[in-house]
Structure 1
Amino acid sequence: MSSSPQPEPPALVAATAMFIEVLVVGIGALTAAVLLLIALIGPATTARLTPVAGSSAAAGVGLAAAYALGILIDRAADAALTPHRRRLRTHSFPSDAGYAQARLQLADFPVLAARADYARSRMRICRGWALNTLALTIAADLAMLRYSFEHRSLILGAITALGLTTAFGFYRAWRALTVTGYRKLAEQTTTSAANQPVPAQPPPSPASP
């Protein structure tokens, strides 16, 4: 009896990396959702629900929710930044056809394609966390408003400033990775095309008398 075919290692690694990438983004979104829930239900109800939140069932539900939220945040961040990303792409690829052709050429070089995939993974994480940080900042401010403690205004201001600065930092990182990725793709595909051997031309046929 023949064994069932196993997935190819590169495909398995890519799928694992994608799962981790979505989960990393989703954990931030889930944290923001929990902070927002705390702001809505208040300190007393939060204290009663704390034992339930530490159970194994809650951990499993949280992991699934983080993955689902990661997909939503990734799509939302992509939709928000797509117009800007397309403007950045025109610096290296004036036309969509040229970009599509470069992507096809890169597929012929597995090492370069793997590096490009890694760069895009970092770009997607920065893109998602730029949105996550804004959500975390708002949710944290709302949650802290439900509690009374000393120097609350100062702490709220510090958290807001830190959150906005971090969100801007993630945006700048996304922009730098995006610009660099397009530039390297243009350089690598141009160099690779130039280094490809020119096919030999058949000798000219002798002229007929």
Structure 2
Amino acid sequence: MTRPPQPEPSAVVAATAMFVEVLVVGIGFLTGLGVLAAAIAGPDNSRQLAPVAGTPLAAGAALAFAYALGILIDRAADTVLAPVRRRLRTQSFPTSSAYAQARLTLTGIPALAARADYARSRLRICRGWMFNSILLTVATDLALWRYPVEHRFLLLATATVLGTLAAVGFYLSWHTITATGYRKLAAQTAPAAAQTVPSQPPTPAAQTP
């Protein structure tokens, strides 16, 4: 009896990594939504809802919802940043077909393909957490305003500055990783692309009469 083919280890690892990336982004966004909901509900309502939120059923639902949110935020972030991404890509690849050919060439070089996958993993985390940082900053500021805390204005200023720095830092990291990835892809696939071009036969030397 022939055993069914087992999945490639690299594909399994890539799928697991993508699942973790989406979950990490989704958990961050769900945390921001939770803080925002608590801020809107106020101290009294939040105190009454706290026992329900701590049940295993709520934790399981939150984990599943976080994964779904991660997919949504990843797609939304990619759409928002698409104009910048296309501009960065044109600096290394003049046409979409040239970029597609380079990606196809890279799949034949496993070591370089693995590095490219790692770079894409980092940029997905960065673009997702750029959105998460914005939400968490707004939610934290609103919670600090609604709840009775000491040194409110100092905490508000600190949360706003740190949140803004985090959002800007994630954006700059995404920008750097994206631009570097395109440059590396162009450099790594240029020799291979040149080898695929059929060489022209040498021009015969002119005979001397």
Question: By the TM > 0.5 criterion, same fold?
Answer: yes
Deviations along 1:36-87, one digit per CA (max 9) or x if unpaired, are 1101211111112222222211110111011011011101111110001100
* Cα distance between partner residues in 2 of 1:69 and 1:201: 54
Deviations 1:167-187 (A, max 9, x none): 000000000000000000000
Partner of 1:78: 78
**Separation of aligned partners in 1, 2:191 and 2:141:** 51
**Counterpart check, 1:31 vs 2:36:** no
SS at match of 2:108: coil
Q: 1:111 offset after TM fit, Å?
A: 1.1
Q: CA deviation at 1:106?
A: 0.7
Provide the residue aligned with 1:205 in structure 2.
none
- RMSD between superposed Cα atoms in Å: 2.0
Matched, 1:165 2:146: no
- 5+ residue gaps in structure 2? 202-209
User: Who is 1:97 aligned against?
Assistant: 97
What pairs with 1:168-187 in structure 2 (closer than 5 Å)? 168-187=168-187
In structure 1, the partner of 2:155 is 155
Q: Corresponding residue for 2:205?
A: none
* CA drift at 1:6: 3.5
**Which amino acid counterpart does residue 104 of structure 1 have in structure 2?**
L
Distance (whole Å) between structure 2 residues aligned to residue 119 and residue 167 of structure 1 = 19
Q: If the length of structure 2 is used for normalisation, what is the TM-score? A: 0.90
Q: Structure 1: 5+ residue runs without aligned partners?
A: 203-209
The percentage of aligned residue pairs carrying the same residue is 63
Number of the residue aligned with 2:112: 112
Whole-angstrom distance in 2 between the partners of 1:2 and 1:197: 38
Give SS of 1:91's match: helix
Q: CA shift at 1:153, angstroms?
A: 1.1
Partner of 2:42: 42
Moved more, 93-102 or 185-194: 185-194
* Counterpart AA for 1:7: P
TM-score between the two structures when normalised by the length of structure 1: 0.90
Write the distance in 2 (CA, Å) between the matches of 1:154 and 1:198: 64
Q: Quick one: structure 1 residues 177 and 59, their matched pair in 2 at CA, closer, same or farther if it must change by over 3 Å?
A: same
Distance 1:192 1:41, change over 3 A: same
Residue 5 (structure 1) shift? 4.4
In structure 2, C-alpha distance between the alignment counterparts of 1:144 and 1:86, rounded to whole Å = 39
Aligned residue pairs, count: 202
